[in-house]
Amino acid sequence: MNQRFLLIVTLVALIVTSSACVYRVDIAQGNRIDAETVGKLETGMTRKQVEFLLGQPAIRDPYHADQWNYIYYLKRGQTGKVDKRVMTLHFTDDKLSLIEGDLRGGWL
């Protein structure tokens, strides 16, 4: 009887404590781009070359047709820490003319 009670208490304690350890998935959205790929960008590249290298931009603003925005958003599941990176590419005469944004150490 005493062993059975101890077993039940142990199982209940195990179930209660294990339910507090829920795994939370990292949520990544947008364009995942590494430092090597960003390093290959050069002014003077055509839109097709940029799209081949980076993929389609997250945002193509119809009011700013010469501007492409690449956005990467990562929310860590366990810590809740959010990492957001934005890179904006400007084109003049369909050629890459300006690269601006958060380029520190790539996007991975």
Q: What CATH number corresponds to the domain at position 62?
A: 3.30.1450
**Apex 49 CA angle, 45 and 50, nearest 5:** 80
Q: How many domains is the chain partitioned into structurally?
A: 1
Verdict on whether the full-model pTM lies above 0.75: no
**Domain limits for position 37:** 24-101
Q: What's the rounded Cα separation, in Å, for the pair 50 and 45? A: 7
What's the pLDDT tens digit per position in 49-59?
Answer: 999 999 999 88
Strand, coil or helix: 73:
strand
Q: Quick one: CA dihedral 100, 101, 105, 106, positive or negative?
A: negative
Q: Is 106 contained in some domain?
A: no
Q: What is the pLDDT of residue 35?
A: 80
Reported as a pLDDT band with limits 50, 70 and 90, residue 31 is: confident
What's the pLDDT tens digit per position in 34-46?
Answer: 788 888 999 999 9
What's the pLDDT tens digit per position in 60-86?
Answer: 888 999 999 999 889 998 888 998 888
Q: Is 91 contained in some domain?
A: yes
